[in-house]
Amino acid sequence: MSKQLDMFKTNLEEFASKHKQEIRKNPEFRVQFQDMCATIGVDPLASGKGFWSEMLGVGDFYYELGVQIIEVCLALKHQNGGLITLEELHQQVLKGRGKFAQDVSQDDLLRAIKKLKVLGSGFGIIPVGGTYLVQSVPAELNMDHTVVLQLAEKKGYVTVSEIRSSLKWETERAKQVLEHLLKEGMAWLDTQAAGEPQYWLPALFTELYSQEITPEEAQEAIP
Amino acid sequence: VCNTAGVKFDSGVLLLSTHRLIWRDQKNHECCIAIPLSQIVFIEEQAAGIGKSAKIVAHLHPASSNKEPGPFQSSKYSYVKLSFKEHGQIEFYRRLSEEITQRRWENMPTGQTIQVNKDPQAGRIRAVGIVGIERKLEEKRKETDKNISEAFEDLSKLMEKAKEMVELSKSIANKIKEKQGDITEDETIRFKSYLLSMGIANPVTRETYGSGTHYHMQLAKQLAGILQTPLEERGGIMSLTEVYCLVNRARGLELLSPEDLVNACKMLESLKLPLRLRIFDSGVMVIELQSHNEEEMVASALETVSEKGSLTADEFAKLVGMSVLLAKERLLLAEKMGHLCRDDSVEGLRFYPNLFMTQS
């Protein structure tokens, strides 16, 4: 096998000399590259000592991104309980990297996060309404919790009644889930809301207040 | 660009000419929208804020009946917002203001936006104006596209070869499984390092424990050296994510993958190094000094909690100067050992000395 390996290494070196820059600069090309690797059963990010990492430099790019992601999540954890939208994470990471750093796509972030899971500190990805929430604390979030997060994503908050009507759950089940999210610091309770208490997700706050709305829309949104 | 019906055109380049404001999608160059400057009534700036980028709002005249086709036939909003995610808002605002003030489009009929300058010496013709810019962009795009299609071709060929390697490794792995006795330890180790180089999971065991190669052994020894002092400074214990950040920030280049780190740490104990990997029930992974005894730390944690009556993980972390993650693990361990008991409510998880044990 070592002969084959040497041959492959040469092929990879050739590829790298022609296209290393392309991988660096083009997020779409990176996606293609990663997808192809996955299809054939190769993980180019498994080890910094792997050929892919050494010759194409993909390793350093993603591992460094991992460090930046960890730092952003840690910095914001006290605010959002360890849940953050992929968009906000993306913005914060870009800010930290500075204007002249290499561009990073959301796909890049997702791949880096998938690698971080192995470190055991609770990194996970939760799909919600077309985007993702990134979890960075070892809180147990099961299917019930995830589904409620997805429901809350539309308005940034959710109520027991909404859960009952949308998901057809019993009150007790809804309350258990909401209390768990409260305990973990991922949800905040607004008991002063007209009608019934609202459970807000700070992870979704920037999504909300960064959407520009007209005065008419604002009137409609506030009960 | 967004018109607040929620429709956004993201990630593009904004171009200003004497006649028009043009937006072009960075990824899909065919996608391009434009507004004649004559449609703009006035513009205003919106400063950047937290989570908000700097913006220019362009208020428009109502669309004329002979309006060219665009993203919308009509809209109930009379303005569009240009959001500058990176930079350039200030400069762009200044120039846009200039163009709107000067109204040069009134003097120059559209279609004749090419000004041709003949350079007498070189005899070259440079196309200036919007057509010139568009042409340059087109050339650049063609060049990029050509590079990309060549790259994809080369990539596909490379992947074919990589696939062969994967097949080869599977057949070798099968041989190893069959002829257990005939394969030397050395050969097995070499095979593992081949898999590492290619990024192929070990087909025999699918294991990560002991998938350690010489590389991981060396790495483990290095880590023992690097982490001794930081561990001492942090009370003898650090989470694996902390270690990952610390080590990679120090390296700067040739960074470790998360898997590299875990595989190396799994070898610490067997190599008799002064650190060890510990995995808590919650799945949280830490590196401890061999001399560190978490169970002893629990005794002092109990004292601290008793002094204060009760503590949450956050409060304990602040008091003792630990990360919240590790503080929580210590309190959970204390609970497991029977020294603390919990009060789990909506207000959070609070720990109390376990009086059931101490007071009968």
Determine, for residues B240 and A120 on separate chains, whether the beta-carbon distance falls below 8 Å: yes
Determine the Cα–Cα distance for residues B278 and B283; give it in Å rounded to an integer. 10
In the listed set B273, B289, B305, which residue is the last one of a domain according to the structure? B289
Q: How confident is the model at residue A103 (pLDDT cuts 50, 70, 90)?
A: confident
* Residue B125 region by backbone torsions, left for phi larger than 0, else alpha for psi between -120 and 50, else beta: beta
Determine, for residues A33 and B172 on separate chains, whether the beta-carbon distance falls below 8 Å: no
Residue, of A143 and B132, whose pLDDT is higher: A143
User: Each residue of B145-179: b (16+ CB within 10 Å) or e?
Assistant: eebbeebbebbeebbeebeebbebbeebbeebeee
Q: Which candidate, B133, B99, B337, B324, places its Cα nearest to that of A82? A: B324
Q: Is residue B80 part of a domain?
A: yes
Sheet of B275-279: strands edge to edge? Answer: B237-239, B285-289, B275-279
Q: Is the pLDDT of residue A134 over 60?
A: yes
Out of B169, B201, B279, closest to residue A120 by CB: B279
The position carrying tokens 């429709």 is B7
The per-residue pLDDT for range A114-131, each reduced to its tens digit, is 999 999 989 999 998 788
Residues contacting A25, CB < 8 A, separation 6+: A102, A103
For residue B279, what is the nearest residue in chain A, using CA coordinates? Answer: A120
Residue B70 to chain A, least CA–CA distance (Å): 22
CATH code for position B86: 2.30.29.30
Exposure of B250 by Cβ count < 10 A (0-12 exposed, 13-18 middle, 19+ buried)?
Answer: exposed
Per-residue pLDDT at B116: 38
Residue B253 to chain A, least CA–CA distance (Å): 7
Interface membership of A199 toward B (CB under 8 Å) = no
CATH code for position B272: 1.10.10.10
B100 plus B47 within the same structural domain = yes
B277 plus B353 within the same structural domain = no
Global confidence as pTM? 0.69
Q: How confident is the model at residue A169 (pLDDT cuts 50, 70, 90)?
A: very high
Q: Name residues 36-55 of chain A within 8 A of B (Cβ).
A: 36-37, 39-54
B303 plus B271 within the same structural domain = no
Q: Is residue B190 part of a domain?
A: no
Out of A22, A59, A209, closest to residue B255 by CB: A59
Per-residue pLDDT at B115: 38
Determine the Cα–Cα distance for residues B170 and B24; give it in Å rounded to an integer. 48
Domains of chain A (ranges; CATH) run: 1-138 (1.10.10.10), 142-222 (1.10.10.10)
The whole-chain average pLDDT of chain A stands at 88
Q: Is residue B241 part of a domain?
A: yes
Domain of residue B275: give its range: 212-289
Residues of chain B in contact with residue A64, where contact means CB-CB under 8 angstroms, are 248, 255
Q: Are B45 and B56 in contact (CB under 8 A)?
A: yes
The ipTM of this complex is 0.85
Q: Is residue B187 part of a domain?
A: no
In the listed set B51, B86, B105, which residue is the last one of a domain according to the structure? B105
For residue B52, what is the nearest residue in chain A, using CA coordinates? Answer: A210
For residues A55, A56, A62 and A65, what is the CA-based torsion angle, rounded to 10 degrees?
A: 100
Q: How confident is the model at residue A211 (pLDDT cuts 50, 70, 90)?
A: low
Determine the Cα–Cα distance for residues B356 and A97; give it in Å rounded to an integer. 53
Residues of chain B in contact with residue A122, where contact means CB-CB under 8 angstroms, are 283-284
pLDDT along chain B (360 residues), means of 10: 62 81 77 80 76 80 64 66 78 81 72 40 48 77 75 89 89 76 74 86 56 83 94 92 95 91 92 93 92 89 94 92 90 93 88 84
B26 plus B69 within the same structural domain = yes
Per-residue pLDDT at B358: 77
Determine the Cα–Cα distance for residues B141 and B262; give it in Å rounded to an integer. 43
B277 plus B299 within the same structural domain = no
B310 plus B242 within the same structural domain = no
Out of A50, A71, A117, closest to residue B198 by CB: A50
Out of A26, A51, A67, closest to residue B197 by CB: A51
Q: Is residue B16 part of a domain?
A: yes
Q: Which candidate, A114, A110, A106, places its Cα nearest to that of A90? A: A106
Q: Is residue B256 part of a domain?
A: yes
Q: Is residue B126 part of a domain?
A: no
B16 plus B55 within the same structural domain = yes
B222 plus B303 within the same structural domain = no
B48 plus B85 within the same structural domain = yes
For A1-5, A31-35, A190-194, which range has the lowest pLDDT when averaged over its residues? A1-5
In the listed set B86, B105, B124, which residue is the last one of a domain according to the structure? B105
Q: Is residue B192 part of a domain?
A: no
The per-residue pLDDT for range A65-94, each reduced to its tens digit, is 999 999 999 999 888 889 999 999 999 999
B285 plus B298 within the same structural domain = no
B100 plus B22 within the same structural domain = yes
Q: Which amino acid is at A75?
A: A
Out of A11, A32, A63, closest to residue B255 by CB: A63
Residues of chain A in contact with residue B344, where contact means CB-CB under 8 angstroms, are 183
- Average pLDDT of the segment spanning A136-141: 88
Interface membership of A119 toward B (CB under 8 Å) = yes
What ranges make up the beta strands (E) of chain B? Answer: 12-16, 20-25, 32-36, 40-46, 54-60, 79-84, 115-118, 125-128, 237-239, 275-279, 285-289, 311-312, 340-345, 348-353
Q: How many domains does chain B have?
A: 3
B342 plus B268 within the same structural domain = no
